[in-house]
Amino acid sequence: MMKKMNVESFNLDHTKVVAPYVRLVGVTTGKQGDQVYKYDLRFCQPNQEHMDMPGLHSLEHLMAENIRNHLNSVLDIGPMGCQTGFYLSIFNNDSFDEIIDALEKTLNDVLNATEVPACNEVQCGWAASHSLEGAQDIARTMLAKKASWPNVFSE
């Protein structure tokens, strides 16, 4: 048995999950009663595949900009260091269906994009590392498997 870690995802058995999926990681309640919901948006099967950096980087920009058009409770969306997915943090919204709907709409926005937002040296820390086509390939693959998003583990 492995020692319990402070980071929730370090306690997840990555050999048992089946990507792609959308998983509620946890809920944190603040002093005033506001709740923050953290989601694991897993695009790739851990330890078997990963997103290439230019595509992932562009997808991050596109999703960060566009998801807020579909879900007004977004705090942050950011990539996992393992390059297999993203973490989405939202507040005061516990509707899994709204999260799924917003993700689908956002990924369709990616497919319809003609440029990557903030893809320049003024607004981005590594503007040379982008690929709109790569982001669109990742989005297309994720959307094609939408039916599996609610299922984290194999049957």
Q: Look at residue 9 and tell me if it is in a domain.
A: no
- 8-49 pLDDT, tens digit per residue, is 888 888 999 999 999 999 999 999 999 999 999 999 999 999
Sign of the Cα torsion 13, 16, 20, 23 reads: negative
Q: Look at residue 64 and tell me if it is in a domain.
A: yes
What CATH number is associated with residue 74? Answer: 3.30.1360.80
Q: What's the pLDDT score for residue 2?
A: 77
Element (H, E) at 112: helix 96-112
Where residue 155 falls among pLDDT bands split at 50, 70, 90? low
- 72-130 pLDDT, tens digit per residue, is 999 999 999 999 999 999 999 999 999 999 999 999 999 999 999 999 999 999 999 99
Torsion of CA 126, 128, 132, 136, to 10 degrees: -60
In three state form, how does the secondary structure of 58-106 look?
Answer: HHHHHHHHHHHHCCCCEEEEEECCCCCEEEEEEECCCCHHHHHHHHHHH
Q: Look at residue 155 and tell me if it is in a domain.
A: no
> Distances in Å between the alpha carbon of 141 and those of 21, 37, 98, 129, 151?
12, 25, 21, 21, 16
Q: What percent of the chain has pLDDT over 70?
A: 99
For the chain, how many residues are written?
Answer: 155
* pTM confidence score: 0.95
Q: Look at residue 83 and tell me if it is in a domain.
A: yes
Q: What is the residue range of 121's domain?
A: 17-145
Q: Look at residue 39 and tell me if it is in a domain.
A: yes
Q: Look at residue 69 and tell me if it is in a domain.
A: yes
Rg, Å, the chain Cα set: 16
Domain count for the chain, please give it. Answer: 1
Higher pLDDT, 148 or 155: 148
Sign of the Cα torsion 47, 26, 103, 56 reads: negative
User: What does the alpha-carbon distance between residue 92 and residue 27 come to, in Å, rounded to a whole number?
Assistant: 10
